[in-house]
Amino acid sequence: MRGAVIGVAPGGIITGRIGVARARWCNLALPAAPARAEPAPEVSLAIGPEPFKNVMKLWASGVSVVVNRSDRELQAITVSSFTSLSLTPPLILVCIETESRSHEGLILAGCFSVNILGDAQSAISDMAAGRRGPEGHSLPGVAHTTATTGAPILKDALAWLDCTVVARHDGGDHSIFVGRVEAAAAGNGAPLLWYDRDYAGLVRSKRRRAD
pTM of the complete model = 0.77
Name the CATH architecture for the domain at 24-33+57-198. Answer: Roll (2.30)
What mean pLDDT is reported for the chain? 82
**Strand-pair partners of 97:** 174
The whole-number pLDDT of residue 119 equals: 94
What is the structure's pLDDT at 182?
98
Q: What percent of the chain has pLDDT over 90?
A: 50
Residue 39's SS3 state is coil
Closest CA to 166 of 115, 114, 112: 112
Q: What are phi and psi of 104, to 5 degrees?
A: -70, -35
Report CA Rg, the chain. Answer: 18
Buried b / exposed e along 159-198 (16+ C-beta atoms within 10 A): bbbbbbbbbbeeeeebbbbbbbbbebeeeebebbbbeeee
Per-residue pLDDT, averaged over 169-189, amounts to: 95
Q: Residue 46 — pLDDT band, cuts 50, 70, 90?
A: confident
Read off the pLDDT of residues 82-96 as tens digits, 9 standing for 90 and up.
999 999 999 999 999
Q: What is the mean pLDDT of residues 30-44?
A: 59
